[in-house]
Amino acid sequence: MLYWIFDLDNTLYQIPPNCDFSYNNLVQDDQLNYQLFMLPLKKIIFTNGTMGHANMCLKRMNIDDQFNKIIARDSINDLKPNNSAYLKFMNSCNIMPYDKCIFFDDLPENLIEAKQFGWITVLINKNRYVHEDIDFYFPNIYLALNYLITKIHKNT
């Protein structure tokens, strides 16, 4: 099984530097909605935010129907990059060691920990960070998804 795993804050959306977060700044994102729709199989949110925060953000962006499940800090009582958070996440989602997971996050430390489980790691960050456990780097989610969608369609 293939799982597309997404962090939320500063990954599916990015807050401009020196700006405070506001739900009012999150708007319907048709491009992201379409790109997520083009991804095959399971899509899951894995966030250190709360379940309420995740639901509000996804609803404001009108992408809430794209995800099969949301795993938030208050649903597993743990935080990335703790190893136990990944184990609880995989258990909650019935992810097996042989499943393929592609994980998008804005923090290198979260991706480095995920790599220990064999996940493909995608850094979404305006600042490039090079590390052997980070497979891909993109400054925003749109470029990352465009690249991976193109790669999928070339292989089918």
- Domain positions in the chain are 2-12+26-154
Domain over 2-12+26-154 is classified CATH 3.75.10.10: no
**Residue 151: pLDDT band with limits 50, 70, 90:** confident
pLDDT of residue 153: 67
57 SS3 class? helix
Map tokens 């991976």 to a residue. 148
Tell me: pLDDT of 4 over 90. Answer: yes
Query: How high is the pLDDT of residue 69?
Result: 98
Q: Could you read off the pLDDT of 110-130 as tens digits, one per residue?
A: 999 999 999 999 999 988 888
Examine the pLDDT at 78 and tell me if it is beyond 90. Answer: yes
DSSP state of 65: G
How far is Cα 48 from Cα 15, in angstroms, rounded to an integer? 16
pLDDT attached to residue 156: 55
| CA–CA gap between residue 10 and residue 105 (Å, rounded) | 8
Reply yes or no on whether the pLDDT at 45 is more than 70: yes
**Higher per-residue confidence, 18 vs 87:** 87
* Res 19: pLDDT: 83
- Give, as one character, the DSSP assignment of residue 9: B
CA distances in angstroms from 29 to 8, 10, 111, listed in the order given: 14, 15, 25
Within 10 angstroms of residue 128's Cβ, the number of other Cβ atoms is 10
For the chain, helix (H) and strand (E) counts, in that order, are 6, 6
